Structure 1
Amino acid sequence: MQTWDNRQPIYRQLADRLAGGLLDGSPPEGEPMPSVRALASHYVLNPLTVGRALQALSEDGLLESRRGLGMFVRSGARQRLKELERQRFLELEWPQLRRRLRQLGLGPEQLDWEA
Structure 2
Amino acid sequence: MTQWREDQPIFLQIRQRMIEMILSGVIKEGDALPSVRQVSTDLSVNPLTVTKSYQSLVDMGTVEKRRGMGMYVTEGARAALLTHERDKFLTEDWPGIAARISALGLTAEDLLKDGDQQ
TM-score tier, shorter chain, comes to: over 0.9
Distance 1:88 1:67 in 2: 31
Asked if 1:59 is matched to 2:38, the reply is: no
Superposition deviation, residue 69 in structure 1: 0.4
- Aligned counterpart, 1:110: 110
Gaps of 5+ in 1: none
The equivalences for 1:57-96 within 5 A come to 57-96=57-96
Matching residue's letter, 1:40: S
Deviations 1:27-62 (A, max 9, x none): 110010011111111111111111111001111111
CA spacing shift, 1:85–1:113, aligned 2, 3 Å: farther
Distance 2:105 2:47 in 1: 47
Distance 1:53 1:67 in 2: 18
Distance 2:30 2:21 in 1: 14
Matching residue's letter, 1:57: L
CA spacing shift, 1:7–1:42, aligned 2, 3 Å: same
Distance 1:8 1:113 in 2: 33
Distance 1:84 1:18 in 2: 14
- Aligned counterpart, 1:31: 31
Gaps of 5+ in 2: none
Q: What do you get for the CA RMSD once the two structures are aligned?
A: 1.5
Distance 2:113 2:46 in 1: 40
Moved over 4 A (4+): none
**Identical-pair percentage:** 40
- Aligned counterpart, 1:42: 42
CA spacing shift, 1:113–1:30, aligned 2, 3 Å: farther
The equivalences for 1:4-23 within 5 A come to 4-23=4-23
